[in-house]
Each structure stands twice: as C-alpha cells, then as structure tokens.
Structure 1
Amino acid sequence: MNLVNLESVSHSYGPKPLLSDVSLGIEAGDRIGVVGRNGGGKTTLISVIAGALKPNEGRVTHNRGLQIGVLSQGDDLDPDRPVGETVLGGRAEHEWAGDAGIREILANLLGDIDLTVPVGSLSGGERRRTALARLLIGEHELIVLDEPTNHLDIEAIDWLARHLTGRRSALLVVTHDRWFLDAVSTRTWEVVDGAVERYEGGYAAYVLAKAERARIAAAAEARRQNLMRKEIAWLRRGPPARTSKPKFRIEAAQALIADEPPARETVELVKFAAARLGRTVYDLEDVTLHAGGPGRGPLVLDHSTWQFGPGDRIGLIGVNGSGKSSVLRLLSGTVEPDAGRVVRGRTVRLAHLSQELAELDPARRVLETVEEVRKFVQVGKKEWTASALLERLGFKGEAQWKVVGDLSGGERRRLQMLRLLMDDPNVLLLDEPTNDLDIETLNELEDLLDGWPGTLILVSHDRYFLERVCDRVVALLGDGKLSMLPGGVDEYLARRASGAALSARAAAGGSAPASPAASAPSDGTKAQTGLSAKEERELRKELSRLERQLDKLSGREEKLHAAMAEAASDYGRLASLDAELKEILAEKDGIEAEWLETADRLGE
C-alpha cells in the first residue's frame, strides 16, 4: 500500500534549491535511510514528507488517515509536565505496566530518569530520549526520525535498531550513523544537488552502488575514486556482519575494486610512531579515579594498571556516565587520580579533542585560523597544506574564507579537529569526534586517520567509525577496570547482556544459591517448578559447579588482561595472549548459557 507520494516537489531557502523537481513514494513496510551532506536538504525532504513543511512547488499526497510519528531535531515537550505523563499520556499505570513492549521502551531509553520529575529539569540528551520514547510507545504506520541516535550510547543504539526492525511500521530515518543505517534500512536515499538518488540496500550496498555508478559515468575525480575504493576495500575486509546483501548485481564493480588500495599498514605505522614517541606513551600504575574528583562521583578506575604504547589505536567504550571522558581527561593531565600515578612519555606531543570545544576567534577567517597553527603538516609519508586539509574536511573554495563566527556547530568541530592535526601531535585523544559530521566528511576523516602514525585513543558511540579507525577495543564495564575486548563491540554487547541477565537472576533468586537442604521440600513432593526434590538438588549442585567454573575463568581473564598490559609493546606475545583470552571468553559464554538454562529449569 502506498503511504506517501511526492510529485514534482521543489523547495528552496534563498537562491540555492534544496529540492528540485523531486518525485518519489513510500510504501507500507519500506525502511529507508536518508544520507547527504549537512545542509544538503535531508531535513527539508523528511519535513515535506511528514507534512510539517509545505513545498514551494509540487504536490504531497498522504494515504487517507495516515498515522505519522515524527522525531525532529528539536522537541515540543512541555517543560512543566512530568516525564511519565509526557511519555505515557493518559494511560493508567496498570495499563502500561502490564504492557511488555512499553516496559521495554522505558527500560532502554528512560531507565536512569525519574518519571515524576518535570521535563524542564532534564538535560538536552534526556529530553531527546524522552521524545523518542513518547514516539515509540505510540502506534504509527510511518515513523520519521531525524538523527535518532544522538545522545544514545552503543548499547541503546543496538537496542533501537532491533526495536525498529521488529516493528511493522514503515520507517524513514536521517542519520550519520552508518552502522545504524545498515542495521535498519533496506533502501537508501541520497539527497544531493536538489535531487534524490535512490539505492537498494543499507549503507554497504549504497557504497557499492555509488561506486558502480561513478565507474560507469567515469566522471568522479581521481581522489574521490580512490577514497571510494578504499571504503569498499574496508567493507570487504570488515566483519561478516558489516556486509549487507544488495539486490543489484555487484560484478560490474569488480573493475573498480580490482586495484583496491592496501589495508592500513599497521606495522609500518607502529614503527614510525615508535620512532617519534619512544617506548613509553602512558602507563597507568595502580590508578583509582572518580568521575567527580577524589572520592566524588561514580568510581571509574579502581587500582587499575594499564599501558598505552606507540602506534596503539584504541576505542574506549562504555555506557553513558561510565567515565570514558574522565579517562581521557586523566591522560591529558586535566584531572589527577585519587591514588596511583600516570607516567607520561617524555616525547608525547598531545592533542585532545574534548566535547567542550575550545572557543575560536569568531572574527577570523577559516584558513587564517588553521594557518596560525601551521601552514604544512606531515601525515604519514605525505605533506599536506592547511588549504588541502581544509578541502578534504569539507571547506572547499570560498568556504575557507568564511568568518568563523558564521560557521555551524558541525563546521566549528571540523575546524577544531584540523587545528589539532596541524599542530603535528603524536598522541590524539578524541572525545566524540563524529558529532555533527556528515557521512562524506566522516569518510574523509577516516581516510586521513588511516595514514596518521601515532597513538590514538577514541571515545565514540559511532560504531562504524570506531571499528573503522581503531585496531583494539577497551571497555569500562563498571568494575573499576579497563577490559580488553578482542571481539570488539559485539563482545561488549554480549558481555553487557549476559551481565544484565545474571544480575536479574541474582535479584530474583538471591545473590547466593540456597542450600539443597533449605530449598528442597521436606515431604519429597514436587516443587512449584514441577521438579522432584531429588531433581532440584541435582540442579542446584550443577548451578554451584557452574558458578565455581565462572569464578575460575574470571580470575584467569583478569590475569590475562594484566599480562596483556605488561606486553603492550611485544606484539608477538600480545597476539598469543589475545588468542588465549578469546578461548576463555568463548568458554565463559558457553558456561553462562548453561547457568541460565539451569536457572530457568529451577524457576529462578
């Protein structure tokens, strides 16, 4: 069933048309991702489709009685209304509390928010999640989302993707999160130069199809062709889950892929980084750290020891509030540890991109702002001018002469990133560098960082960017330690899920298993679970055995993490320890599954 039709729609703000003679439609069950440059017309397109904006020309037709749910970048929430009433409307407590779907939405989006407080007391991110929860609780035939992953951590983004793919509603989503696009979209629309180009499949399919169109047209510049080949090459080398199955034939793209550039030469970059940095970058020795200062706020690190070596490219992940930014501030020297010490290498030349960007002189020109730091910079084996780097990150032509005060938030972030790179650092601490960047700029930044030699520590909820730029993933899991995750983000999500399941079981049945004598019925009859006294005793013995095995494996895991920290500069030893750690984690997963199955049989 056709839900929305656009016929010859045009719209502009000023002389430049954002939409020019666009005709398209959305059918029931469509899941469409919208991509394009910032300011290119994505939000205008979805606003026209949702009926929130009347186009200058053309016609928009909605199916009669169409129910549309819209999440815009702003919100219309009443600041005086309680969060619970805002989200749940007039639903009685027994009505929503008995609905598993509503409980799931509340738990995953508003689990840390008191539903009785007024909306006006919430932070910007909390208001955003409140608006998203209100939308998802409703029933809609078409859901329109503008940047829904903003202010969500990796875990919440993963849940949202699964939730949306499980709904029967049609979906139209604007996002710069490429992993999320791949997870939820079956079609991709690119808004470019006033037109809407349509592709089958999610982001991976879109990249392949766009490369094929560029090859056939033979019109793309040599640099953009090389960048596209590099992106395709990474997609082909990446995790199997990264690859979607496009509906078009991809054989014709082989001519473009045949001369794909090599993968990032990690060993060569590590050697170059070691030459510039020396053996010591950062050593954390028995460090204790609280997020709010000594003894204040959540505990982030508890007597933790870790080493960051030359050439390390590490992604640091964890739930919101776990202390990721605090760890970066600790490394930058902005905050001091409660206990222990941080040893910083003598040759470290640091650049720290924080979420609170330093103020730029609003009266200066963009190019002048960068050239005052340096006019040339060496990235790997290539020398770049300030103007060339500006062009790579979206400041083309006259944009380099714009006044800083006229820049958008995303443009200011790009400019600050460039200023950091132009200072020729050998250690980069990046805290959410992808905020407000469009996909093309993200591609350019990734390509630039591919050839950048040095130690990189990245905090990001953009799973695609994190996996693309980093070689290793380290997590803050709430236990006061930095945990190495050989399996990357997938392992993090699995460990978080298994930890939540174990916590739920413990909360329901007590943290320690009851003794067989205490738990078995004295008369030998079957318990409420349907088990005889003998069967229940055997299962509880099995449960205790599995818990002892889990304790032993956890101990071995901690020892391996410590050994890996000590062997940070010995890559042969590190690979051996990494393989051993993977075996232990796989064994733990199997035992945890057995534990859950046994606990289920006991009714706990």
Structure 2
Amino acid sequence: MAHLLGAEALHLEYPTTVVFDSVTIGIDEGDRIGIVGRNGDGKSTLLRLLIGKIEPDAGRVTRRGGVRIGMLDQSDAVDVDVTVAESVVGDRPEYEWAGDPCIRDVIGGLLSDLPWTARVSELSGGQQRRVALATLLVGDWDVLFLDEPTNHLDVEGIAWLAEHLNTRWSKNSGAVAVVTHDRWFLDAVCTATWEVHDRIVEPFEGGYAAYILQRVERDRMAAASEAKRQNLMRKELAWLRRGAPARTSKPKFRIEAATQLIENEPEPRDRVQLTQLATSRLGKDVVDLLDVGVRFGDREVLTDVEWRIAPGERTGILGVNGAGKSTLLKLVAGDLQPTSGRVKRGKTVRVAWLSQQLTELDDLADDRVREVIGRLRSSYVSGGAELTPGQLLERLGFSSAQLSTRIGELSGGQRRRLQLLLILLDEPNVLILDEPTNDLDTDILAAIEDLLDSWPGTLLVVSHDRYLLERVTDQQYAVMNGRLRHLPGGVDEYLRLRHEAERTGGAPATAPATAAAAVASAPGAAVSEAAAAAASAGAPALAGAERRQAEKERSAIERRIAKLGMERERLLAAMAAHDQSDYGGLAELGQAQRAVEAETDEQELAWLELSERLEG
C-alpha cells in the first residue's frame, strides 16, 4: 500500500511537560486508525502535528506530494455569517451538488433536521458542529483526521458516520485517523489502534476489541503474579466476547486467546445478588408510570406511557433529540407532574441525577477536592470491598496530588468524575445518568462501568454512546411518537424502527425548509443508498396463523440458545480441567466450543429476524 504521510522522531515539549519523545509513525493507503489514550496525553496534539498546525521541536512530518488532508478539530468553528447551504455546498449551482451522491448522503445523514436556508449563527453549538463535519465530508480528501466527530451526534448519526467512512473509499484507498471515546465507533470503523501514553504512540492491530485483547496480553506477560492478571481490561474483554453476535462474529483477534484469558472471569454483574440488594434497599415498589401523558400547551410530548420500574432494573433510553426522554426521566425523578395518568412512587425511593451540566459544582469552586469528599461518607462498598473516597477517586483517575486541587481548577472530565463520585457517596437507590460519557476517555469510561457493575440500585441511562448502553444496561427502551417502546433487539432494533419511520413518514415538504427536503426536491436527486437499504430491510408484519407459527419458532430458538449456553459452559469447564499437555484433546474441545459459538450466533440472528417481523 502506498505511503501517504508519516512522522520521524517527533519531539514536542511545553515548559512543564514533554508531550512526545522520538515518535515515529506512518499512515498508508487503506489505513483506518483509532487513536485512544488518557485525556491530556496528546491525542489531539498528534493530529495537529501531522497536519501541520503545530510544528515539532525536533523530528519531521513527511507527506506524499499532492496528498489532500482534511481535518475536523475540536476547536474548529464554521463561518456563522453564512447559511447552512452556503457553508456546506458554497456557491455551486443546485444541479451540480444535488447530482453528487456523496453530498446527498452527507446532507441526509447529518443535516436532515436543520433549516437549509438558516444562518449558522442561529443554530445551537451542537448543530454548528454538525455543519462543520458536513462541510468537511463533502470535500474530496485522501486523508481525514477527525477529532471527536461523534460529539453532538445521536445513535443514528453515529451509525451513519461509521457507514459513510466504511464506504467512502475502496478497501485499499484513502485513510482515516480518528480520536474518539466512542468504543462502538472505534470497532465499527477502525482496523488499527494507536494508544498515546507516556510520551509515545504504541500501535495495535484491529479496532477497540482487538486493542483490549492486546493490552491484556501485554499486562499478562509483564505480570509477576496471578493478581496482576485480574485487571479491569480482562473484565472488559470478557464482556466483549459475551456480547452481541455482531461483535463476536467479526473477530479481529484470536478467539482461542480471548477464551483462555477470560475462562475464569465471572460475568460483569451478578444480577441475582444486585437484584436482592436493590430489593432490600428499595422494597418491591420503585416508580410506576401508569397511563401517563404530558402536554405542553398544544404539544403532546408523551401519551399513554405505562412503565413499571423494578428494583435493580438497568435500562437504557433511546430517542431522537426532542422525543421526550428528559420529560420521561423528570417524571421518574418527581421533577415534573403528568397532565394525565399518575405516577406511583415507592416510599424509600431516593433518586439522584447525573445531568449534562456541571453547574452543581459551581458553589464549591473554591473548595479543595479533599475537603468536599471529607464532608460525606468515610467509606463506600464496591464489589464486596470497602473503599475510602480517596481510593474511589484514584479508581476514577485522580492522582493523590489532585486531592488538593480546587474544584474550580479541575478540567471538564475531572469535574464530571467528581460529580459522579459525590452522587454515589450520597447513596441514592435510583440513579439517572444523562449523557455521562462527555469529556471522558476510554480508560475512565471502563473504570466507571466497572464501578456501576457493583452498584446495587435501579439504573436509568440516556446516552448516544452505544457501547456504554450495551455495557451497563440489561435492556433498552425507545421514546418514539410520544410512546415508550421496549426494544428486545436493542440498539439495532431501534435503528431499524427509525429507518422505517423515515421511509413511511410521508412526502417531503413542497418548499425545501430543511436540508433533507432540499436534497429530495433538487433536480436529478436520487434516493440515497442508505434509504434504499433501509427500505429493502423492512419485512411485512405477521398476523394470524403465520404469526403464531413465528412465535413458536422464536420460543424454540430461545430454548436452543439456552441449551447452547449450557453446552458452552460445560466445554469451557472441560478445557480448564483437561490435561494441558494433551494438545490433541484440547484441540478437539476447542473445535467443539467454536462450533457451539457459531451455532449460537446463527440462532441469535434468527431470533432477531423473527423478533423484527413480530414487532413490525
């Protein structure tokens, strides 16, 4: 593959710290690179060095002649004095840009809900960020550098961006380097991972799942004892291997190695124990929404919502912006009363809300971290172990020196971590997390997920981070058309339902009020490939005898999946107890295990297909 650009012996330092020391890396045609690392270690700085926005103190950056590089920087701002249309397509005539499938795809994927003729200055900060991303993506680039591109995108937008980057170039052409904390996105797009840490850039093969395996192997080889092997990354890997078929059927790492590493690793959560603990703290009644409706003036936000929240329930809430997710959670928290129906709340319920805002800490800006946590509990039990607040802070990425830092001097990510810690120390029994992943890196997210695994209460999560939703919740619901809908198929089912809703939502407006309408009404415009795929994916709903037969088949598949799970556990136990020097016997057991996992994947996919038709 042809070389596009690279860096040789890069050295960069600031008065108080060395950022990079003799870093040598390269990007070739076909590379899809995810860049991970702790906040402040230099991920964004690396992109700016490669594109030439920052000059190194030593070393050099080389680029192939004529290579075109586009970058979305976190600090980039669009021209606010132009319209959305002018920002994205400039002064090109309509017939020209509307005939370009790439431009139509970008507009439909990112700007479908924005006023096409509105000035950028009239948009929110998140909408302006989407305009900046669309303006970049309509260009013709050989290399794209994207710094946190999923910020301000919902689940659908993130899925669209992953698909766009996967199909933008042919397999061995173009290149992408992306800094993001969205682990699902890393796995969906990237075939290589760079970890930025300790003044170096360490390369790994594969996406996030493969990177986790290689980190585990690296730590295992460096470990002096079995205790060293019991680290957070192995728990993360265990969840990845036990996850959805879409993740496990796309192995970027050796299944045998992963199985060996996690064979003694328990499930992330002991659901039975957590439910028992939650019931003892909450009783049987938490919050019941009974035929609830909410109306603001002439606008009906929620209609006939029936939701009985159980003790220990861990639920993710999906929905487009403005669908009513925050309204639903305000009903649960007691901050809003319904206009119809009623909300029944248990006597012992104590709700805590981790909001998107950090204003709760403003009154404590002059206090030091040590002083604030010292006013609360002296200990906290997590995973059966008693931890001091200081140990919890260390677990969430704080150093001992930062305990003396004033809260007003903390970064956004540090303030969010402290905000979560203060909530947990206050011991609520119902916890609502509203976009908790903002400003956090992947290691800190894994630490927070590990902490939540042992939290004995009811957990409700609203997030566009698909990985987090699938990792910390056991079920998902969607707020759609004012109603609450259960999603047995998870995020994939939600995306399918949204595609179907868009496909059947009616003809576009006669005047191109939005970007999507402008594309639909433009001369020569065709249906995008994404829309065509969504249309072909829909299957007719079942009824009568056909429906009853499908329900029987689904029940049979569920029983088969349960049996396959038991067989898999038996094989894993047999492998652990088998003579490790009997390579032939181990190989046979491994082959049987792989066959069981393959059949499980097939059965799960069949279950999802039947569920989609039954729910249609």
Q: TM-score range by the shorter chain?
A: 0.7 to 0.9
What are the Cα deviations for residues 109-128 of structure 1, in whole angstroms up to 9, with x where unaligned? 11111121111111110010
1:584 offset after TM fit, Å?
A: 10
- Residue 163 (structure 1) aligns with: 164
In the alignment, structure 1 residue 217 sits paired with structure 2 residue 222: yes
SS at match of 1:197: strand
What RMSD, in angstroms, separates the aligned Cα atoms of the two structures? 2.8
1:130 alignment counterpart: 131
- Greater RCO structure (CA 8 Å; 6+ sep): 2
Contact 2:209 2:252 in 1 (8 A): no
Instruction: Give the whole-Å Cα distance in 1 for the aligned partners of 2:543 and 2:361.
Output: 54
Q: What is the CA distance between 1:367 and its match in structure 2? A: 2.3
Q: Secondary structure at the match of 1:69?
A: strand
Moved more, 332-341 or 85-94: 332-341
Paired residues in the alignment total 526
Q: CA deviation at 1:224?
A: 7.6
Deviation at 1:75, TM superposition (A): 2.0
For the pair 1:197 / 2:202, whether they are aligned, the reply is yes
| 2:467 paired with 1:464 | yes
Q: Residue 576 of structure 2 aligns with which residue? A: none
Amino acid at match of 1:499: A
Q: Contact (CA 8 Å) 2:435, 2:463: kept in 1 or not? A: yes
Deviations 1:166-217 (A, max 9, x none): 0122100000000000000000000000101100000000000111111112
Q: Secondary structure at the match of 1:138?
A: coil
- What's 2:66 paired with? 65
Q: Does 1:426 align with 2:429?
A: yes
CA contact (8 A) 2:239 2:267 kept: no
Distance 1:592 1:415 in 2: 42
1:85 counterpart residue number:
86
| 2:194 counterpart SS class | strand
Task: Give the partner amino acid of 2:489.
Answer: G
Displacement of 1:268: 1.4
Distance 1:455 1:35, change over 3 A: same
Instruction: Name the residue aligned to 1:231.
Output: 236
Aligned to 2:19: 18
Amino acid of the residue matched to residue 399 of structure 1? Q
Mapped to 1, the partners of 2:37 and 2:541 lie a distance apart of 51
SS state of the match for residue 359, structure 1? Answer: helix
Tell me, yes or no, if structure 1 residue 142 matches structure 2 residue 146: no
Distance in 2 of aligned mates of 1:428 and 1:328:
11
The match for 1:597 is none
After superposition, residues 272-351 of structure 1 pair within 5 angstroms as: 272-290=277-295, 294-295=296-297, 297=299, 299-351=300-352
Task: Return the letter of the residue paired with 1:122.
Answer: L
| Contact 1:11/1:56, CA 8 A, preserved across alignment | yes
State the Cα deviation string for residues 61-81 of structure 1 (Å, max 9, x = none).
111111111001122311111
Structure 2 unpaired stretches of 5+:
511-538, 552-604
Return the offset for 1:90.
2.2
Structure 2 residue aligned with 1:179: 184
What is the CA-CA distance between 1:301 and the residue it aligns to?
1.3
Within 5 A, what are the aligned runs for 1:398-437?
A: 398-437=401-440
Change (3 A) 1:336 1:296: farther
How far off its partner does 1:266 sit?
A: 0.6
Deviations 1:288-314 (A, max 9, x none): 124xxx3265x3310212110101000
In structure 1, C-alpha distance between the alignment counterparts of 2:540 and 2:34, rounded to whole Å:
45
The separation in 1 between residues aligned to 2:375 and 2:612, in whole angstroms, is 54
Of 371, 376, 399 in structure 2, the residue corresponding to residue 373 of structure 1 is 376
Equivalent position amino acid for 1:393 in 2:
L
Counterpart CA distance in 1 for 2:370 and 2:33 is 38
Residue 522 (structure 2) aligns with: none
Counterpart position of 2:275: 270
Aligned to 1:484: 486
Q: Does structure 1 conserve the Cα–Cα contact (< 8 Å) formed by 2:194 and 2:202? A: yes
Q: How many Å apart are 1:587 and its aligned residue? A: 5.1
Alignment-mate amino acid for residue 124 of structure 2: S
Q: Report if aligned partners of 1:181, 1:202 keep a CA contact under 8 Å in 2.
A: yes
Matches of 2:225 and 2:56, distance apart in 1? 31
The 3-state SS of whatever aligns with 2:9 is: strand
Q: In 2, are the aligned partners of 1:351 and 1:420 still within 8 Å (CA)?
A: yes
- C-alpha distance in 2, partners of 1:215/1:547? 50
Aligned to 2:498: 496
Please give the alpha-carbon distance, in whole angstroms, between the structure 2 residues aligned to 1:276 and 1:592: 35
Deviates more, 1:463-472 or 1:326-335: 326-335
User: Is the contact made by 1:2 and 1:28 (CA closer than 8 Å) also made in structure 2?
Assistant: yes
Aligned to 1:188: 193
Aligned position for 1:563: none
Greater alpha carbon shift after TM alignment, 42-51 vs 243-252? 243-252
Kept in 2: contact 1:546–1:591 (CA 8 A): no
Partner of 2:177, secondary structure, is: strand
CA deviations 1:365-385 (Å, max 9, x no partner) are: 112222223221233533221
Measure, in 2, the Cα distance between the counterparts of 1:205 and 1:186: 9
**Which deviates more from structure 2 when the two are superposed, residues 300-309 or residues 453-462?**
300-309
TM-score (norm 2): 0.80
Aligned partners of 2:542 and 2:613 also within 8 Å: no
What amino acid is aligned across from residue 212 of structure 2 in structure 1? V
Please list the CA deviations of residues 248-272 of structure 1 after superposition, one character each: whole Å capped at 9, or x if unmatched: 6565566543332344111111111
Once residues 611 and 274 of structure 2 are traced to their aligned partners in structure 1, the CA distance between those partners, rounded to angstroms, is 35
Instruction: Return the alpha-carbon distance in structure 2 between the equivalents of residues 173 and 53 of structure 1.
Output: 18
**Distance of 2:90 and 2:322 partners within structure 1:** 29
2:598 matched to which residue of 1?
A: none
Q: Is the 8 A contact 1:110 1:129 kept in 2?
A: yes
Structure 1 gap ranges (5+): 509-544, 558-581, 594-604
- 1:452 corresponds in structure 2 to 455
Match of residue 390, structure 1, among 377, 390, 393: 393
Structure 1 residues 244 and 366: alpha-carbon distance in aligned structure 2, compared to 1, 3 A threshold: farther
Letter matched to residue 445 of structure 2:
L
Q: Check conservation: 1:201, 1:244, Cα contact below 8 A.
A: no
Q: Which residue of 1 aligns with 2:50?
A: 49
Equivalent position of 1:104 in the other structure: 105
Distance in 2 of aligned mates of 1:220 and 1:176: 31
| Deviations 1:453-501 (CA, angstroms, capped at 9, x unpaired) | 11000001111111010001011122x2111111111111112122222
Alignment match, 2:526: none
C-alpha separation between the residues in 1 aligned to 2:127 and 2:419? 27
Identity %: 52
CA distance in 2, matches of 1:347, 1:109: 44
Partners of 2:33 and 2:224 in 1: CA distance: 27
Deviations 1:497-543 (A, max 9, x none): 222223358999xxxxxxxxxxxxxxxxxxxxxxxxxxxxxxxxxxx
Aligned to 1:29: 30
Q: Which of 190, 212, 220 is matched with 1:207 structurally?
A: 212
Between 21-30 and 336-345, report the one with greater CA deviation. 336-345
Letter in 1 for 2:373: V
Q: Is the 8 A contact 1:446 1:469 kept in 2?
A: yes
Distance 1:25 1:258 in 2: 37
CA distance in 2 between counterparts of 1:466 and 1:349 reads 23
Please identify, of 401-410 and 321-330, the stretch whose mean Cα deviation from structure 2 is larger.
321-330
Amino acid at match of 2:240: L
- In structure 1, C-alpha distance between the alignment counterparts of 2:149 and 2:199, rounded to whole Å: 24
